[in-house]
Amino acid sequence: MKVIQHTAKTLHNALVSNSHDLVQIYDKYTKEEKLLLEDGYRAGQTGSLFQPITVHSDSDWISAHPEEPQDFQSFYRDRHRKIPSASCNTVYIQTIGSFGEAGVDTDQYVEWLRDYCQAFFHGLSVKSLPAVSVSDTQCSFRVNSNSHNLQILTGDLLQFLRRKKPKDAFCIIGITMIDLYPKDSWNFVFGQASLSEGMGVFSFARYDDNFNSKCYAGRLTKQLQPKQGDYSVFEGYYTPPITSMLLLRSCKTMTHEIGHMFGIRHCQWLNCIMQGSNHLEESDRRPLDLCPICLHKLHVSLGFDIADRYKALLSWMEEGQSQTSGLHCFHEHPWEYPSFAFGTVILF
């Protein structure tokens, strides 16, 4: 285990820069906003809202995928980064395939996910498109030879999203409960995106705690060799139960991947939702929110009031708590809104 502890000076340069025009941008923050952002210099110390990055093993992202750190200056100067415009300022969420039995559970899950993205990317509109079936996408699919579960091809799904993308879209995100693969030689992939075209597709199938167990319900019990184009194999196919942990993991994935659409790369400064993730355990260790450096990047792209953004996130949390108090259960487990992760926001 290794802790990556940057000096206060290094973090200051990454956040503010020494460039005069970028210092002027930073100086537009209020005293209270600067107090929050500069709390990152004290990461790991008693009372700080932020923590340094801890690398637990060589399989973690930073060890396995060395990348050039992106400070605010390199982000701001990147001529390829995308900024929402008056005519393209909506994030669209497209569900693909079954999300379980139709009804309040599934509808509420998608609505909560949409509302969370709306609060996280404060100032952007986030809309859900009508759900589509796997057959609607006309994508290729297969049975994984190792895990024996159904998988659909990401490249075909991206082509479908390209055709479906509304004209006012900043980006379109496809989500599915079915496992994905990018090409025949790969075992699986969590998702795939085209940042230049503002679209991506991501699967939550492997967020099921039982996915890697022999009793996983998505394993096909017989050697099935479905023919391409025969989408009846997806009728009644298993999807993970909707739980608070699934919602928590889904919120993290959605905001991380949409963050990339703005040109925000993997964070290597502090513990942050924009950190890369090589496996589920590492993904679960990531916090729900941005570090000060990545928050600065998002803020300059959207121009929200920082306090208003946190209030929107808190409102989402509190509304969920009041809603779930009236629900009996989801899949034999009491439904718990994943609000525990927002404890530090209350301090701000």
| pLDDT tens-digit readout, 282-327 | 888 889 899 999 999 999 999 999 999 999 998 988 876 555 554 4
Domain membership flag for residue 329? no
User: Residue 339 has what pLDDT?
Assistant: 52
User: Residue 282 has what pLDDT?
Assistant: 85
- Residues 127 and 176 occupy one common structural domain: yes
Average pLDDT over residues 104-108: 67
Domain membership flag for residue 334? no
Domain membership flag for residue 254? no
Domain membership flag for residue 309? no
- Residues 96 and 188 occupy one common structural domain: yes
- Residues 110 and 240 occupy one common structural domain: yes
Q: At 301, is the secondary structure helix, strand, or coil? A: helix
Distances (CA, A) of 199 to 160, 161, 163, 164, 245: 10, 7, 11, 10, 25
Q: Of the candidates 93, 163, 103, which has an alpha carbon nearest to the alpha carbon of residue 128?
A: 93
Contact 111, 75 (CB under 8 A): no
pLDDT surpassing 70 at residue 192: yes
CATH number of the domain where residue 171 is located: 3.40.390
Q: How confident is the model at residue 91 (pLDDT cuts 50, 70, 90)?
A: very high
Q: Looking at the DSSP assignment, which residues form a beta bridge with residue 141?
A: 152
Q: Whole-number mean pLDDT of the chain? A: 88
Residue 326: is it exposed, middle or buried by C-beta count within 10 angstroms (0-12/13-18/19+)?
exposed
Boundary of a domain, candidates 220, 248, 276: 248
- Residues 123 and 243 occupy one common structural domain: yes
Average pLDDT over residues 77-96: 94
Q: Is 67 a catalytic residue?
A: no
Average pLDDT over residues 220-241: 83
Select which of 257, 281, 282, 332 is catalytic.
257
- Residues 235 and 107 occupy one common structural domain: yes
- Residues 148 and 26 occupy one common structural domain: no
- Alpha-carbon distance of 308 to 296, in angstroms, equals 15
Domain membership flag for residue 319? no
User: How many folded domains does the chain comprise?
Assistant: 2
Higher pLDDT among residues 307 and 338, named by residue: 307
Buried b (16+ CB within 10 A) or exposed e, 183-208: eeeeebbbbbbebeebbbbbbbbbbb
Indicate left, alpha or beta for 212 from its phi (over 0: left) and psi (-120 to 50: alpha).
Answer: alpha
- Residues 61 and 168 occupy one common structural domain: no
- Residues 240 and 280 occupy one common structural domain: no
User: Residue 13 has what pLDDT?
Assistant: 97
- Residues 291 and 219 occupy one common structural domain: no
- Residues 94 and 243 occupy one common structural domain: yes
User: Residue 345 has what pLDDT?
Assistant: 43
Domain that includes residue 217, residue range: 90-248
